[in-house]
Structure 1
Amino acid sequence: MVLQQKPARAVVWGYGEVGAVVTVTLGLGVDIISSTTVDINGDVGIWKVVLDPMDYGGPYNLIAQQNIKGEITSIHLEDVLFGDVWICAGQSNMVLTVSAIFNASQELAKASDYPFIRLFSTARETSETELLDLPSVSLEWSIPTPENLGHSDLTYFSAVCWIFGRHLAEKLKYPIGLVESVWGGTAVETWSSKTALSTCGLSEVPKEWPQSCSDITASHYRQCGYSKLWNSMIHPLLNMTIKGAIWYQGEHNIVLSPNLYNCTFPALIQDWRRSFHEGSLGQTDLNFPFGFVQLSTFSKNSPNANVPLIRWHQTADYGYAPNPKMPNTFMAVAMDLGDETSPHGSIHPRDKATVAYRLYLGAQAIAYGERRVPFQGPFPETIDVSYTSSYMNITYNQELLVTHISDHIFEVFCSTGIVVTGNSQYTWVPAPAQASSSNVVMVSFKGCSHIAAVRYAWSDWPCEYKACPIYSVHEGLPAPVFVKYI
């Protein structure tokens, strides 16, 4: 396994007899590095030890020895490393394994090159109440192999999680632990605690929600009920000291409570941070870095109007991350990675390598303080409107790499009649646009007597594969969806 390195202190916990004394010893070969003793109190029989802060490296031996009335039992763990531990969570696009992506055979062949990455995957279980331990485990702590990286398309191990961790290991040159807790077709409400949901006014599960995680449609959507995966697949992990988390979820909320996602998702992040901080006795940072994937595409021929809405809500309606409601977050834009012929369905694009790399750039900047690493696509800074010439200049916050701009990817909220406050009729209409300088796009709105807003890429499938019109010059990161009211 991998335990969290300093400056944080790793937490080790387990079960024993009430009234016993447990001694936890960390050793390197025959040398004892540290030894900590704790009494088992209370009525549950859980003990918890905070290890001394450790530099990255290993392998160490970890021994937990219980002494109750002179009777001694012990558990020995070997090949324990210290490095950074990341949680990877979400639904099916995070579930999709390495065997299911583009260039899978090449990626699987790299597995043996990374013996200092360690993998762990929880099993898919639900619970009505918050559990202290995982009901079961899909993949015990393991060294990466082609078999456990590509076990099956929707079992383990997550391609996004693996490639993200691989990039980190290559850059940082120390061990990385990856903890996967995922279930396809699940809503954000299922992964949220009751405390988090209450901040968004959610207390009772809607009657239309089935109360089990059985398949309910041909597209394998599951509605497991509020908090049921939080209870069984996140709450048992809270004692862990972690570096951060990455998240790929939101597709299910296209059809379930889409208008609440700008509250439920930020609330989940805030609640996970507080819970991991408290569960680890303050060792996990209260503001630990949290990365997420903005939704890719859903359907090209039958587009869903809620897809761009969820993309917008994923940023708490700011359009970018980090932002005032979501500090210390980073986002990988994926709307340019549509994969219409994916054998897993077009909602599951196979280019997970690009997704993971964009997340990795965000982690470099936010989690590891590499402030010169570009990790955000271009975003509007100012909008200047000229009614005399019927155009607006949108000035972006960085230099643009602009290809052909289609006549429909920009839209304006247009009124063609006389503007009367509170009585004007506005409709969204396509607006031709062109680059007018290195960081300015000029959008025309001829025929509109007044415009109330402008938006970009507000559609399910806004462009073809890696062919959106606006990218950053550095790293070629796509400009995210936005809507700006004027």
Structure 2
Amino acid sequence: MVLQQRPARAVVWGFGEVGAIVTVTLLRGMDTISNMTVNVTGDVGVWKVVLDPMDYGGPYHLIAQQTLRQEITSIHLDDVLFGDVWFCGGQSNMRMTVSQIFNASQELALAAQYPYVRLFTASLEYSDTELLDFAKVAMPWSVPTSKNLGQGDFTYFSAVCWIFGQHLARKLKYPIGLVESACGGTLVEAWSSKTALSKCGLSDTSSKTKLRNYAYLDYSVLWNAMIHPFLNMTIKGAIWYQGESNAFMNLDLYNCTFPALIQDWRRSFHEGSLGQTDPNFPFGFVQLSTYVKSNRDNFPVIRWHQTADYGYVPNPKMPNTFMAVAMDLGDETCPYGSIHPRDKQTVAYRLYLGAQAIAYGDRHVHYQGPFPDSIDVDFTYSYMNITYNQELIITHTFDNIFEVFCSADMNGEGQYTWIPAPAELQSSKVVTVSFKGCSHISAVRYAWSEWPCEYKQCPIYSANQRLPAPLFIKYWK
């Protein structure tokens, strides 16, 4: 396994007989590195030990020894490393295994090159009450192999999580622990505690009557079974790929429920690890890719809500977060359904750039696509200049990707409709959008479509790192 390195302190925990004494010993070779003792108390006999801060590396040997009325029992763990532990959660796009993605055979062959990346996967379980331990474990801590990276469709191990971990291991050159807890077709509410739900006016029983035939969608059931047992663990950060299910249920609440989940997970991991997990740990997520080519606005709305309606992160409601934009990675012919694009390499790399900047403080890394700094509207000549916050590359014609909310009434009191607006690059950072034919406009938006562009052919990318500009919408009062 991998335990969290300094400056945090890793937590080791387990179950014992109430009244017993547990001694946890960490050894390297024959040398004792640390030795700690704790009494087993409480109704269920859970014990926790906070290890000394450890530099990255290993391997170590860890012994947990229980003494009760002169009877001694012990558990031995071999090949324990210290490094950074990342938690990977979400629904089926996080759950897609390495065997399901593009260039799968090449990716699987890389497993042997990363013996110091370690993998753990929780089983798909749900519970109406918060569990202290896992009902089952799909894959205990393991060294990566081509077999356990590609067990089957939507089983384990997560392609996004694995490739993200590869990038970190190559860059940081120390052990990385990857923990997967994901389940397809699930709402954010299922992964949320009662506390988080209450922040958005929801109770844990709100969905029982509607969704009893699909228990994974019941509120809090995955938090109870697949998150709560992890809370003692000290982690470095988390990445998240979810939201497709919420595009069709509780869509208008996602700008509350998703930030509330992040805030609640941070508090819960911090408290569960006895203060060792950072209370503001870095949290990365994937802004959703495409589904079908339709006129619905469910997907652009939820992409917007994924940022708490700011359009970018970090922002005041979502501090210390980073985002991988994926709306340009559509995969219409995917055999697993177009909602599951197979290019998980690009997704993972974009997440990795965000982690470099947010989690590891590399200020020189460009990890965000271009976003408008200002929008100046000239109603006399019917155009606007949209000034972006970085240099742009225009890779494709604008077509109909910009739209304005247009009224034929000069006073702006008539009926408004969204109409396509021609655009052109005015300078390295400025796009000019024309709205001739509109007597008045009250808003502009970009890429507000379920499938805004073909594969890597959205028009606006950053000149540095070639990252796509996320969608945005801007209203005038």
Instruction: Find the aligned partners of 2:213 and 2:77 in 1 and give their Cα distance.
Output: 36
Provide the residue aligned with 1:239 in structure 2.
Answer: 232
Question: What amino acid maps onto 2:211 in structure 1?
Answer: P
Provide the residue aligned with 1:263 in structure 2.
Answer: 256
Provide the residue aligned with 1:219 in structure 2.
Answer: none
Instruction: Find the aligned partners of 1:437 and 1:405 in 2 and give their Cα distance.
Output: 15
SS at the partner of 1:24?
Answer: strand
Instruction: Report the alpha carbon displacement of residue 408 of structure 1 after superposing the two structures with TM.
Output: 1.1
Provide the residue aligned with 1:477 in structure 2.
Answer: 467
> What pairs up with 1:285-434 in 2 under 5 angstroms?
285-300=278-293, 302-419=294-411, 423-434=413-424
- Moved beyond 3 Å, runs of 4+: none
Instruction: Find the aligned partners of 1:209 and 1:25 in 2 and give their Cα distance.
Output: 50
> What pairs up with 1:448-467 in 2 under 5 angstroms?
448-467=438-457
SS at the partner of 2:201?
Answer: coil
**Structure 2 contact 421–433 (Cα < 8 Å) conserved:** yes
Instruction: Report the alpha carbon displacement of residue 209 of structure 1 after superposing the two structures with TM.
Output: 2.6
Question: What amino acid maps onto 1:103 in structure 2?
Answer: N
Post-superposition CA distance 1:305-363 (Å, at most 9, x none):
20000000000000001111000000000000000010110000000000000000000
**Structure 1 contact 338–464 (Cα < 8 Å) conserved:** yes
Instruction: Find the aligned partners of 1:388 and 1:153 in 2 and give their Cα distance.
Output: 57
Instruction: Report the alpha carbon displacement of residue 404 of structure 1 after superposing the two structures with TM.
Output: 3.1
Post-superposition CA distance 1:39-61 (Å, at most 9, x none):
01121111100000000000000
> What pairs up with 1:1-400 in 2 under 5 angstroms?
1-203=1-203, 204-206=205-207, 209-213=210-214, 224-300=217-293, 302-400=294-392
Question: What amino acid maps onto 2:110 in structure 1?
Answer: K
Instruction: Report the alpha carbon displacement of residue 424 of structure 1 after superposing the two structures with TM.
Output: 3.3
Question: What amino acid maps onto 2:93 in structure 1?
Answer: N
Instruction: Report the alpha carbon displacement of residue 153 of structure 1 after superposing the two structures with TM.
Output: 1.6
Instruction: Find the aligned partners of 1:354 and 1:31 in 2 and give their Cα distance.
Output: 44
**Structure 2 contact 207–219 (Cα < 8 Å) conserved:** no
Instruction: Find the aligned partners of 1:17 and 1:107 in 2 and give their Cα distance.
Output: 45
Instruction: Find the aligned partners of 2:230 and 2:40 in 1 and give their Cα distance.
Output: 20
**Ranges in structure 2 where 5+ consecutive residues have no aligned partner:** none
**Structure 2 contact 396–457 (Cα < 8 Å) conserved:** no
Instruction: Find the aligned partners of 2:135 and 2:213 in 1 and give their Cα distance.
Output: 16
Instruction: Report the alpha carbon displacement of residue 389 of structure 1 after superposing the two structures with TM.
Output: 1.2
TM value normalised by structure 2: 0.98
**Structure 2 contact 208–218 (Cα < 8 Å) conserved:** no
Instruction: Report the alpha carbon displacement of residue 419 of structure 1 after superposing the two structures with TM.
Output: 1.8
**Structure 2 contact 383–436 (Cα < 8 Å) conserved:** yes
Instruction: Find the aligned partners of 1:391 and 1:418 in 2 and give their Cα distance.
Output: 15
Instruction: Report the alpha carbon displacement of residue 212 of structure 1 after superposing the two structures with TM.
Output: 5.0
RMSD: 1.0
SS at the partner of 1:154?
Answer: coil
Post-superposition CA distance 1:126-146 (Å, at most 9, x none):
000000001000001000000
Post-superposition CA distance 1:359-381 (Å, at most 9, x none):
00000000000011000000000
Post-superposition CA distance 1:23-50 (Å, at most 9, x none):
0000001000000000011211111000
Instruction: Report the alpha carbon displacement of residue 303 of structure 1 after superposing the two structures with TM.
Output: 4.8
**Structure 1 contact 298–304 (Cα < 8 Å) conserved:** no
Instruction: Report the alpha carbon displacement of residue 428 of structure 1 after superposing the two structures with TM.
Output: 0.8
Post-superposition CA distance 1:371-428 (Å, at most 9, x none):
11000000000011111211000000000001333331000011111325xx432111
Instruction: Find the aligned partners of 2:192 and 2:414 in 1 and give their Cα distance.
Output: 41
Instruction: Find the aligned partners of 2:163 and 2:42 in 1 and give their Cα distance.
Output: 42
Instruction: Find the aligned partners of 2:207 and 2:40 in 1 and give their Cα distance.
Output: 42
Question: What amino acid maps onto 2:465 in structure 1?
Answer: E
**Ranges in structure 1 where 5+ consecutive residues have no aligned partner:** 215-222
Post-superposition CA distance 1:264-311 (Å, at most 9, x none):
0000000000000000000000000000000000112x4532000000
SS at the partner of 2:425?
Answer: strand
Question: What amino acid maps onto 2:210 in structure 1?
Answer: W
SS at the partner of 2:42?
Answer: coil
How many residues are paired up? Answer: 475
Post-superposition CA distance 1:71-102 (Å, at most 9, x none):
00000000000000000000000000000000
Instruction: Find the aligned partners of 2:153 and 2:241 in 1 and give their Cα distance.
Output: 16
**Structure 1 contact 303–461 (Cα < 8 Å) conserved:** no
Instruction: Find the aligned partners of 2:243 and 2:361 in 1 and give their Cα distance.
Output: 28
Instruction: Report the alpha carbon displacement of residue 450 of structure 1 after superposing the two structures with TM.
Output: 1.3
**Structure 1 contact 61–78 (Cα < 8 Å) conserved:** yes
SS at the partner of 1:291?
Answer: strand
Instruction: Find the aligned partners of 2:353 and 2:417 in 1 and give their Cα distance.
Output: 38
Instruction: Report the alpha carbon displacement of residue 207 of structure 1 after superposing the two structures with TM.
Output: 5.6
Instruction: Find the aligned partners of 2:114 and 2:296 in 1 and give their Cα distance.
Output: 40
**Structure 2 contact 378–384 (Cα < 8 Å) conserved:** yes
Post-superposition CA distance 1:92-136 (Å, at most 9, x none):
000000000000000000000000000000000000000000100
Instruction: Find the aligned partners of 1:242 and 1:213 in 2 and give their Cα distance.
Output: 31
**Structure 1 contact 102–351 (Cα < 8 Å) conserved:** yes
User: Residues 450 and 396 (structure 1 numbering): CA distance in 2 closer, same or farther, change over 3 Å?
Assistant: same
TM value normalised by structure 1: 0.96
Provide the residue aligned with 1:217 in structure 2.
Answer: none
**Structure 2 contact 123–137 (Cα < 8 Å) conserved:** yes
**Residue range with higher mean Cα deviation, 397-406 or 343-352:** 397-406
